[in-house]
Protein backbone atom coordinates (compact mmCIF):
# COMPACT_ATOMS: atom_id res chain seq x y z
CA UNK A 1 0.00 0.00 0.00
CA UNK A 2 1.30 3.41 -0.92
CA UNK A 3 1.23 5.96 1.88
CA UNK A 4 1.50 9.72 1.82
CA UNK A 5 5.00 10.94 0.92
CA UNK A 6 6.40 7.39 0.68
CA UNK A 7 7.21 7.46 -3.03
CA UNK A 8 10.40 9.25 -4.07
CA UNK A 9 9.02 10.25 -7.47
CA UNK A 10 5.88 12.07 -8.51
CA UNK A 11 4.71 9.72 -11.27
CA UNK A 12 1.41 7.85 -11.09
CA UNK A 13 1.73 4.53 -9.25
CA UNK A 14 2.79 1.63 -11.43
CA UNK A 15 1.62 -1.46 -9.65
CA UNK A 16 -0.12 -4.66 -10.46
CA UNK A 17 -1.99 -5.31 -7.22
CA UNK A 18 -5.41 -6.21 -5.94
CA UNK A 19 -8.26 -3.79 -6.54
CA UNK A 20 -8.30 -2.08 -3.13
CA UNK A 21 -4.53 -1.54 -3.11
CA UNK A 22 -4.66 -0.10 -6.63
CA UNK A 23 -7.57 2.24 -5.86
CA UNK A 24 -5.94 3.50 -2.65
CA UNK A 25 -2.59 3.97 -4.40
CA UNK A 26 -4.18 6.19 -7.05
CA UNK A 27 -6.19 8.09 -4.45
CA UNK A 28 -3.05 8.67 -2.36
CA UNK A 29 -1.20 9.83 -5.48
CA UNK A 30 -3.88 12.47 -6.09
CA UNK A 31 -3.96 13.51 -2.43
CA UNK A 32 -0.19 14.03 -2.56
CA UNK A 33 -0.63 16.15 -5.70
CA UNK A 34 -3.07 18.47 -3.93
CA UNK A 35 -0.81 18.84 -0.90
CA UNK A 36 2.17 19.54 -3.15
CA UNK A 37 0.30 22.43 -4.81
CA UNK A 38 -0.28 24.10 -1.43
CA UNK A 39 3.27 23.57 -0.13
CA UNK A 40 5.37 26.71 -0.06
CA UNK A 41 2.70 29.14 -1.21
CA UNK A 42 3.01 32.30 0.91
CA UNK A 43 0.24 34.28 2.58
CA UNK A 44 -1.99 35.82 1.35
CA UNK A 45 -1.71 34.02 -2.03
CA UNK A 46 -2.58 30.61 -0.54
CA UNK A 47 -5.96 31.93 0.61
CA UNK A 48 -6.69 34.33 -2.24
CA UNK A 49 -9.43 33.23 -4.61
CA UNK A 50 -8.11 32.67 -8.11
CA UNK A 51 -11.51 32.45 -9.79
CA UNK A 52 -14.84 34.29 -9.45
CA UNK A 53 -16.39 31.35 -7.54
CA UNK A 54 -14.05 32.11 -4.63
CA UNK A 55 -11.91 28.99 -4.85
CA UNK A 56 -8.48 29.24 -3.24
CA UNK A 57 -5.84 26.62 -2.47
CA UNK A 58 -6.80 26.67 1.22
CA UNK A 59 -10.48 26.35 0.35
CA UNK A 60 -9.71 23.24 -1.74
CA UNK A 61 -7.78 21.63 1.12
CA UNK A 62 -10.54 22.43 3.62
CA UNK A 63 -13.20 21.07 1.27
CA UNK A 64 -11.29 17.86 0.54
CA UNK A 65 -10.75 17.29 4.26
CA UNK A 66 -14.49 17.49 4.87
CA UNK A 67 -15.23 15.25 1.89
CA UNK A 68 -12.81 12.56 3.12
CA UNK A 69 -14.37 12.62 6.59
CA UNK A 70 -17.92 12.72 5.28
CA UNK A 71 -17.63 9.79 2.87
CA UNK A 72 -15.34 7.46 4.82
CA UNK A 73 -16.02 8.26 8.48
CA UNK A 74 -19.62 9.51 8.52
CA UNK A 75 -21.19 7.64 5.59
CA UNK A 76 -19.22 4.42 5.37
CA UNK A 77 -18.17 3.80 8.99
CA UNK A 78 -21.25 5.48 10.45
CA UNK A 79 -19.21 7.44 13.00
CA UNK A 80 -20.38 10.77 14.36
CA UNK A 81 -23.82 12.30 14.50
CA UNK A 82 -23.48 15.02 11.89
CA UNK A 83 -21.85 15.28 8.51
CA UNK A 84 -18.88 17.59 8.05
CA UNK A 85 -19.62 20.86 6.29
CA UNK A 86 -18.06 20.49 2.83
CA UNK A 87 -18.67 24.11 1.80
CA UNK A 88 -17.20 25.88 4.85
CA UNK A 89 -15.23 29.03 4.25
CA UNK A 90 -11.59 29.47 5.15
CA UNK A 91 -11.33 31.58 8.30
CA UNK A 92 -8.68 34.14 9.17
CA UNK A 93 -7.37 31.69 11.77
CA UNK A 94 -6.88 28.87 9.24
CA UNK A 95 -3.26 28.41 8.22
CA UNK A 96 -1.87 26.38 5.34
CA UNK A 97 0.04 24.22 7.80
CA UNK A 98 -2.98 23.56 10.01
CA UNK A 99 -5.27 22.76 7.10
CA UNK A 100 -2.67 20.48 5.46
CA UNK A 101 -2.24 18.64 8.79
CA UNK A 102 -6.02 18.27 9.12
CA UNK A 103 -6.18 16.90 5.57
CA UNK A 104 -3.41 14.41 6.33
CA UNK A 105 -5.27 13.29 9.47
CA UNK A 106 -8.52 12.87 7.50
CA UNK A 107 -6.61 10.84 4.91
CA UNK A 108 -5.17 8.62 7.64
CA UNK A 109 -8.67 8.01 9.06
CA UNK A 110 -10.08 7.33 5.60
CA UNK A 111 -7.30 4.91 4.73
CA UNK A 112 -7.72 3.08 8.03
CA UNK A 113 -11.41 2.55 7.27
CA UNK A 114 -10.74 1.51 3.68
CA UNK A 115 -7.96 -0.89 4.67
CA UNK A 116 -10.21 -2.52 7.28
CA UNK A 117 -12.88 -3.18 4.66
CA UNK A 118 -12.74 -6.83 3.60
CA UNK A 119 -15.50 -6.63 0.98
CA UNK A 120 -15.54 -3.69 -1.43
CA UNK A 121 -19.16 -4.51 -2.28
CA UNK A 122 -20.41 -4.09 1.30
CA UNK A 123 -22.53 -0.96 1.64
CA UNK A 124 -21.66 1.66 4.21
CA UNK A 125 -23.73 2.69 7.21
CA UNK A 126 -25.30 5.84 5.71
CA UNK A 127 -25.96 7.59 2.44
CA UNK A 128 -25.47 11.25 1.64
CA UNK A 129 -28.21 10.98 -0.93
CA UNK A 130 -31.68 9.53 -1.07
CA UNK A 131 -30.28 6.19 -2.17
CA UNK A 132 -28.97 3.12 -0.43
CA UNK A 133 -25.55 3.60 1.23
CA UNK A 134 -22.77 3.17 -1.33
CA UNK A 135 -20.17 0.43 -1.28
CA UNK A 136 -16.53 1.02 -0.41
CA UNK A 137 -15.70 0.46 -4.09
CA UNK A 138 -18.06 3.29 -5.08
CA UNK A 139 -16.61 5.59 -2.41
CA UNK A 140 -13.03 4.92 -3.50
CA UNK A 141 -13.83 5.56 -7.16
CA UNK A 142 -15.84 8.67 -6.25
CA UNK A 143 -12.99 9.99 -4.11
CA UNK A 144 -10.52 9.44 -6.95
CA UNK A 145 -12.81 11.47 -9.22
CA UNK A 146 -13.41 14.19 -6.60
CA UNK A 147 -9.75 14.51 -5.65
CA UNK A 148 -8.58 14.46 -9.29
CA UNK A 149 -10.99 17.24 -10.21
CA UNK A 150 -9.77 19.40 -7.34
CA UNK A 151 -6.12 18.54 -8.03
CA UNK A 152 -6.69 20.05 -11.47
CA UNK A 153 -8.18 23.15 -9.87
CA UNK A 154 -5.14 23.35 -7.58
CA UNK A 155 -2.84 23.07 -10.63
CA UNK A 156 -4.49 26.08 -12.22
CA UNK A 157 -4.55 28.15 -9.02
CA UNK A 158 -0.88 27.45 -8.32
CA UNK A 159 0.10 28.36 -11.87
CA UNK A 160 -1.77 31.65 -11.49
CA UNK A 161 0.09 32.37 -8.23
CA UNK A 162 3.70 31.71 -9.20
CA UNK A 163 3.81 30.00 -12.60
CA UNK A 164 4.51 26.54 -11.12
CA UNK A 165 3.34 23.72 -13.34
CA UNK A 166 3.44 19.95 -13.09
CA UNK A 167 3.41 17.81 -9.98
Checking if the pLDDT of 159 tops 50, the result is yes
Average pLDDT, the chain: 91
Backbone angles phi, psi at 123, to 5 degrees: -70, 155
Return the H-helix or E-strand segment holding 29. helix 19-38
The neighbouring-strand residues paired with 135 are 123
86 in a domain, yes or no? yes
Q: What would the pLDDT profile of 85-125 be if each residue is shown by its tens digit?
A: 888 899 999 999 999 999 999 999 999 999 999 999 999 99
Query: Under 8 Å CB-to-CB from 69, ≥6 apart: which residues?
Result: 84, 106, 109, 110
21 in a domain, yes or no? no
DSSP result, 54-82: ---HHHHHHHHHHHHIIIIIIIIS--SSS
57 in a domain, yes or no? yes
117 in a domain, yes or no? yes
* 150, 33 contact by CB (below 8 A): no
Instruction: Give me the CATH number covering residue 117.
Output: 1.20.120.450
Q: What would the pLDDT profile of 4-27 be if each residue is shown by its tens digit?
A: 444 445 667 777 889 999 999 999
Phi-psi region of 54 (alpha: psi -120 to 50; beta: other; left: phi over 0): left
Domain that holds residue 68: 40-162
Total tally of structural domains belonging to the chain: 1
126 in a domain, yes or no? yes
> What is the pTM assigned to this prediction?
0.91
Amino acid sequence: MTTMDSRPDRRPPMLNADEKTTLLAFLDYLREAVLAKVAGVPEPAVRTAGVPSGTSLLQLIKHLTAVELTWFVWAYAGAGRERWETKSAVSADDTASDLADAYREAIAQANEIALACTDLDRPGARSLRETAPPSMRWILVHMIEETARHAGHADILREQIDGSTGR
